[in-house]
Structure 1
């Protein structure tokens, strides 16, 4: 395999948000040996720095589910595929008409900035973040967004994602990466797979030479596209069922590292 692509949360990163020393050593060795490393995450750019600090390599990162490809070496977004303002407005209008109590937030500029309706629940770690703040719906719709975030109280994640996806069919992509009931909406055709295919082409790497790891529904397109799509032992049941293979260990126990050590005979 010439390219290793991996999701972060629930896959490479442990619950305490750390990357194990074993994983760090392995990824540094792979990088030295010429293997292309690509991080592929639903995270916005503003959440990536701690992973870089631990890994010690400047891996190209596909953020916000494929809407932004970020180069940490130059601190630039090398490719973006946002929801245009008109599409964003149509998506919000459809959802507000169909889903009682729905509230919205948007990730802008690859997730360097987040704006949310006043009633949208924001994580405690972001309440006072300088790049995160409340805004009216009209303000949310004034600019393109890397990702639209949708909530409507407490919802079962998979069922609510399916409901949002049906409402936005033909307009945008809907997925989820947690059990919190938040749906993540991207522009039509924008997934982790579409962005990873673009990066692979720049390195003249075919899908057959790509191994990809993931754990949640937003990873499904990427695992299907890669020559070897590997689900984590702790993955969502649909991801385990769809993957080509499943790790023996979870993200807490170096599942990715153990699998790659066998692949590369390290």
Structure 2
């Protein structure tokens, strides 16, 4: 496998966590041993900052995170945002205008305040964090683009996410990035050039690490830019077909400690 990587980057949901959103003791131990030995680990996720405590409480120590698909780089120890690349209000307004014209019944939510808060249209379907106190419905359509947002979320009922993201990407070509990380028809929109790869590249450069020395794990289309950029790309066995196609290697599935097994082999930390 060559020299050990100088930086480990991993997606969270569907990759590091099991399907029940828990982190196995084996995976937590592998991460702790690697970081204790001097190799930094960074979480690279579509999650907002407000969802990270659910992961941190299962780790030996909180890990830095590239959040919101690359739009936010976060230091959990200092509770500090190191970098943010939001969609400006005028850009948000234009993106929403184009998608309302292109996609009948589309509904939106925005991640604001560096993803510490969410605002959503009344008919936008919320999922498992619907009662979180940082989330509320907007009172007028203009409120959707009244502040910069690190991510715009679009839904139009349950549909094939691969097909839906193509429709959205075509409508926003040259204006914004569109991707997805679920099978429920949710499309995630960021400012042009903002991807997991861009956020991770910034963080790696801050550590003096080049892409050749980065080991990255992922499972969904929003991981593709990161996996393509990293020197070594590893997909979990449960990954989306597009991820399996471009990965350098495939490890076990998320529910069978695939990331931990690979790290134990590379770093000898079993």
- Bin of the TM-score, shorter chain as denominator length: over 0.9
1:246 is displaced (CA, Å) by 0.8
What are the superposed Cα offsets for residues 74-125 of structure 1, whole Å, 9 maximum, x if unpaired? Answer: 11111000001111100000001111111111011222100000000001x3
Q: How many residues align?
A: 264
Task: Determine the C-alpha separation between the residues in 2 that align with 1:230 and 1:51.
Answer: 21
Q: 1:73 maps to what in 2?
A: 77
Work out whether 1:149 is the aligned partner of 2:153. Answer: yes
State the TM-score, normalizing by the size of structure 2.
Answer: 0.96
Work out whether 1:96 is the aligned partner of 2:88. Answer: no
**Which one of the candidate residues 41, 55, 62 is aligned to 1:37?**
41
Work out whether 1:255 is the aligned partner of 2:261. Answer: no
Work out whether 1:216 is the aligned partner of 2:220. Answer: yes
Q: 1:121 maps to what in 2?
A: 125
Task: Determine the C-alpha separation between the residues in 2 that align with 1:69 and 1:189.
Answer: 15
Unaligned runs of 5+ in 1: none
Work out whether 1:131 is the aligned partner of 2:146. Answer: no
Give the CA RMSD over aligned residues: 0.8
Task: Determine the C-alpha separation between the residues in 2 that align with 1:160 and 1:167.
Answer: 11
State the TM-score, normalizing by the size of structure 1.
Answer: 0.98
C-alpha contact 1:63 1:110 (8 A) present in aligned 2? no
Task: Determine the C-alpha separation between the residues in 2 that align with 1:134 and 1:219.
Answer: 29
My pick for the range that moved more, 51-60 or 207-216, is 51-60
**Which one of the candidate residues 197, 200, 203 is aligned to 2:204?**
200
Tell me which stretches of 4 or more aligned residues in structure 1 moved more than 3 Å: none
Task: Determine the C-alpha separation between the residues in 2 that align with 1:166 and 1:96.
Answer: 14
Please state whether the residue corresponding to 2:190 is helix, strand or coil: strand
My pick for the range that moved more, 189-198 or 103-112, is 103-112
